[in-house]
Amino acid sequence: MPVWPVLIAVGLAFSVLAAWAARRLLDGSIGWMRAGITSLVVFIAALPLATWSLRAAGVLDGDRVVASTPIALAFFALSLGWLFAVVVVCVVTLEFAWPSHGVPNPIAAVREAFRRRDRARRYTEILSIASRHGLAVFGRPRDAGMPRDLPAAVVAAANDAGVTFIKLGQMMSARDDVLPRELVDALATLQMDSTPIPWADAKQAIEIELRKPVGEVFRSIDTEPLSAASVAQVHTAKLIDGRDVIVKIQRPTARRQVVTDLDILARLAADLERRTTWARDYGTVALVEEFSRTLHDELDYRVELDNIELLREATAASPWALRIPQTYRELSTERMLVQERVFGAPLSRISPGDLPNEYATAIADHIVAAVLDQVLTRGVFHADLHAGNVIVDTDSRDPALAVTLVDFGALGIVEKSLRRLLAALLIAMGNEDDAGATDLVLLICEAGPTVSKSALQREIGALITRVHNAASGDDVFRLLVDALRRQRLAIPPSLLLVLRTLGSLDGTLRRLSSRYNLTRKGIELAGRARPLGLSPRDIVMTAQVQLTLFAEGARRMSRRIESISRQLDDGTLSVRAGIFDSADERTWVDGLVSRVTITVVGVTLVIAGSLLGVSDAGPVLAGDVPAVSFIGSTLGLGGLLLLLRSLSSSFRSGRARPRRPSGG
| DSSP per-residue letters across 97-157 | HS---PPPPHHHHHHHHHHHHHHHHHHHHHHHHHHHTT--SSSS-TT--S-TTHHHHHHHH
Identify whether residues 406 and 477 lie together within a single domain. Answer: yes
Assigned domain for 578 exists: no
pLDDT at residue 89 in the model: 77
Identify whether residues 517 and 606 lie together within a single domain. Answer: no
- The CA–CA distances, whole Å, from 126 to 115, 161, 165, 254, 321 equal 16, 6, 10, 16, 44
In angstroms, the CA 537 to CA 462 distance is 38
Among 39, 70, 97, residue at a domain's last position:
97
Identify whether residues 360 and 497 lie together within a single domain. Answer: yes
Helices 284-299 and 254-275 pack at an angle, to 10 degrees, of 170
Fill in the amino acid letter for 420.
R
Q: What is the SS3 assignment for 639?
A: helix
Domain count, the chain: 3
Among 73, 97, 121, residue at a domain's last position:
97
In angstroms, the CA 255 to CA 299 distance is 7
- Spatial contact of 81 and 637, defined as CB atoms under 8 Å apart: yes
Assigned domain for 330 exists: no
Identify whether residues 505 and 613 lie together within a single domain. Answer: no
Assigned domain for 124 exists: no
Identify whether residues 383 and 493 lie together within a single domain. Answer: yes
Assigned domain for 502 exists: yes
In angstroms, the CA 591 to CA 580 distance is 13
Assigned domain for 359 exists: yes
> 156-170 pLDDT, tens per residue?
888 788 778 887 777
Helices 627-656 and 4-25 pack at an angle, to 10 degrees, of 50
Identify whether residues 619 and 520 lie together within a single domain. Answer: no
Among 70, 97, 124, residue at a domain's last position:
97
Identify whether residues 350 and 479 lie together within a single domain. Answer: yes
Identify whether residues 515 and 632 lie together within a single domain. Answer: no
In angstroms, the CA 165 to CA 171 distance is 10
Q: Return phi, psi of residue 236, to 5°.
A: -85, 150
pLDDT block averages, 10 residues each, the chain of length 664: 64 79 66 77 80 76 73 79 78 69 65 80 84 66 56 82 79 63 72 77 93 93 87 92 94 85 87 80 77 84 92 88 92 94 87 87 91 91 87 84 88 89 86 88 82 87 82 68 80 84 85 83 72 59 72 77 80 66 68 80 81 73 74 81 73 51 38
Identify whether residues 375 and 487 lie together within a single domain. Answer: yes
Task: Please classify residue 552 by burial: count the beta carbons closer than 10 Å to its beta carbon, then call 0-12 exposed, 13-18 middle and 19+ buried.
Answer: exposed
Q: Which of 494, 421, 466 is nearest to 480 (CA)?
A: 466
Q: Which residues pair with 412 in a beta bridge?
A: 381
Expressed as residue numbers, the domain containing 84 is: 3-97
pLDDT at residue 539 in the model: 65
pLDDT at residue 176 in the model: 54
Assigned domain for 363 exists: yes
Assigned domain for 349 exists: yes
What's the residue count for the chain?
664
User: Taking phi first (over 0 means left), then psi (-120 to 50 degrees means alpha), and beta for anything else, what does residue 500 get?
Assistant: alpha
Identify whether residues 509 and 634 lie together within a single domain. Answer: no
pLDDT at residue 216 in the model: 93
Identify whether residues 373 and 512 lie together within a single domain. Answer: yes
Q: What is the SS3 assignment for 317?
A: coil
Q: What is the SS3 assignment for 231?
A: coil
In angstroms, the CA 474 to CA 63 distance is 99
In angstroms, the CA 497 to CA 422 distance is 13
Identify whether residues 511 and 596 lie together within a single domain. Answer: no
Assigned domain for 338 exists: no
